[in-house]
Amino acid sequence: MTTVDMLADELIDVFTDEDPLLASMYGIRKADHSMRDLSEDAESAVRARAVDIMTRAQALDDAALPAIDRITKGTVEELALTVCHRIDSRAVEYTVTDFFVAPVARALYFVPRVTVNDEAQAEAYVARLAQFRHYLATAARRHVDGTGAGRPPVARLLDSAVAQVDRVLDTGADDPLLRPLRQGGMEKYAEQGRQLLESEIRPGLAAYREVLGRIAPQARPDSRPGLCWITGGESIYAGLVRVHTDADRPPEELHQIGEDLVAKIHAEIARSGQEVFGTSDIVAIFHRLRFDKKLRWRDGNEILDAGRIAVTKAESLAPDWFTVIPDRRCAVEAVPPEQDAAIPSGMYLTSSPDGKRPGTYFTNITRPTERFRYFAEVLAFHEAVPGHHFQVTRAQGLSHLPMLRRLPLSTAYVEGWALYTERLADEMGLYSDELSRMGMLVSDVLRAVRLVVDTGLHAKGWTRAEAVEYVRTNTALPDIEVEAEVNRFIGYPGQALAYMVGRLEINRIRAAAQHSLGDRFDIRTFHDTVLREGALPLAVLADVVTDWMKNA
């Protein structure tokens, strides 16, 4: 093993300690017994380890390294810096919501999704449950400390977290936390889990809820939801922009890029609207998309069927555009009922390395008559094929690379690729009609809107009402989606930037390759180059494609 590979493995250990739940989802089974230590001392220790790894990587001479190690070195440096910025954001203090970025919502979401295949894993699972109450208590202390230091949570999102805890406390014997242990041969562990649930976890959740009630009067109102309203908010947001875009981008610049893109995509929507609805008026087009009941679903099964059909079609055409097709097909399932309020339309959950949990595109089928048909295809292409499923599954199979490069740890790369594939699907001829293609355009403008609204909230001091109005005016989202989107921007600062920033960079890299190679440019080989080295920070990806161009 090379020095660079050892540094990469050390950084995986750092990630594992920073977020054991996510590590378990990625198949790092040594983390299965652990809950994250949310204390400030523990975070400082993790940060120090990341700095040490980054410093040792920077000391290595690029010129003396083979190409594979140069890529790993650059990835180590970028991702170690990301750890530092994440910890410096002190997000555990003020992130209180029902979305799985908050510490408690994260535990409630991820813990029951860990696969249990044998007694050793069952013992680890029970050990994790035994730490749940301490985890909750530490989260509560950090919320109280953060509120006292001028970093309180947002009132509206705090209320949603309280409602989520109440739902969990009301689940009774069907609590999802026991789900992995409800199988033959696990009765002993299931009983241990049940006892912990009654004696530790539920009392811990009740105590956590009581703390949320105590800090609620100090929570930020809808008039001050952004990071710019908390102590140190400007530097915190700058760090999170770096985390989610792989670059130091001024919020003002991103805000302007977003506004320019909104205008450009509106022009495309106007042309499509003329074809579909006989009008190029944006207001009229958006009104039709929102309120025409013929464009809505009748029931949840229709939504599921549409997702499965779109994925199957994309799989059939993929060989013309990709040199490597994942062996594992993408499953399509409904968002679990306990999570439907926190997931607007859909999401992708990576497969477990043992194959027991397949890579899955979850689509939200609740309140189907309020959801729209034209979003079905673009969402499936983004979340499943050729989007996240191709990207994540391909990376998982690169066993010759360090694990650090096989995990989706660069948000801008991961989400940029998925957004890139929405337009790629148009090139592939995947959209079944112009209405579905319009779904691609209105989905695209949402990502441009995200640049404007995220920076508006967290850098410019927008109110929640201003954010809601901007999204409502410039997108075709129904109100059910607008509210959820804005809540996500507020609760997950910076993440919304990753999509368009990543897509624009992949587009730039592709255009440069096409210009350089001319007739020698091959789209299948280009896509293989983008995917074959794992999930790379954008600057590292650009170097990889440049090297490919030189040798093509």
Per residue in 108-117, pLDDT (tens digit) is: 999 998 989 9
Q: Quote the pLDDT of residue 481.
A: 81
Q: How confident is the model at residue 168 (pLDDT cuts 50, 70, 90)?
A: very high
CB neighbour list of residue 316: distance below 8 Å, 6 or more residues apart: none
Per residue in 123-140, pLDDT (tens digit) is: 999 999 999 999 999 999
Q: How confident is the model at residue 433 (pLDDT cuts 50, 70, 90)?
A: very high
Q: Reply yes or no on whether the pLDDT at 342 is more than 70.
A: no
What number is the average pLDDT over the span 84-99? 97
- CA nearest to 500, candidates 258, 256, 248: 258
Q: Quote the pLDDT of residue 512.
A: 97
* CA 511 from centre of chain: 26
- CA nearest to 398, candidates 411, 408, 410: 408
Residue predicted with more confidence, 552 or 21: 21
What number is the average pLDDT over the span 186-208? 96
Q: Reply yes or no on whether the pLDDT at 64 is more than 90.
A: yes
Domain definitions of the chain by residue range: 3-223, 241-503
Spatial distance between the Cα atoms of 45 and 177, rounded to a whole number of angstroms: 30
Q: How confident is the model at residue 340 (pLDDT cuts 50, 70, 90)?
A: low
End-to-end CA separation in angstroms for the chain: 29
CA 273, 279, 285, 289 dihedral sign is negative
Q: How confident is the model at residue 352 (pLDDT cuts 50, 70, 90)?
A: confident
Q: Quote the pLDDT of residue 344.
A: 66
